[in-house]
Amino acid sequence: MARSLDSDPARANFLAYQIKEKKADKPCPRCGNHHFSIVGESALNVRPPGTWGLNARDVPITVVACSNCGFISLHASAILEKVPGLLGGAQ
Ligand SMILES: [Zn+2]
């Protein structure tokens, strides 16, 4: 279940800032709208095909929705959190 960020506006603002800083704020690929909202954070369970729970891991994700058509995109939260120029940050 996704974790709403309504109770943590600083976290929502940080994630929105990072999305913009990383230039991941292009118009919606479905309707061309320029406005999005962060729905919340969740986890994507990733496992090798054909396995059931073995070697599975959760990848923390940020869920973003187009404010017009509702198209949803997912961002790996750990990568969004990386600040360029800091050790381990994206270049
Ligand atoms: Zn849209």
Domain spans of the chain, in order of start: 9-80
Reading the chain (91 residues) residue by residue, the pLDDT tens digits are 677 788 889 999 999 999 999 999 999 999 999 999 999 999 999 998 888 778 889 999 999 999 999 999 999 999 999 876 665 555 5
Residue 4: which H helix or E strand, with range? none
Q: How many Å apart are CA 40 and CA 13, to the nearest integer? A: 12
Mark the residues whose beta carbon lies below 5 A from ion ligand 1.
28, 30-31, 33, 66, 68-69, 71
Ligand 1 center to 30 CA (angstroms): 5
Ligand 1 center to 58 CA (angstroms): 27
Identify the CA nearest to 62 among candidates 41, 89, 88.
Answer: 41
Ligand 1 center to 64 CA (angstroms): 11
pLDDT (tens digit per residue) in 32-49: 999 999 999 999 999 988
Identify the CA nearest to 68 among candidates 42, 40, 29.
Answer: 29
A 10 A CB-CB count for 63 gives 19
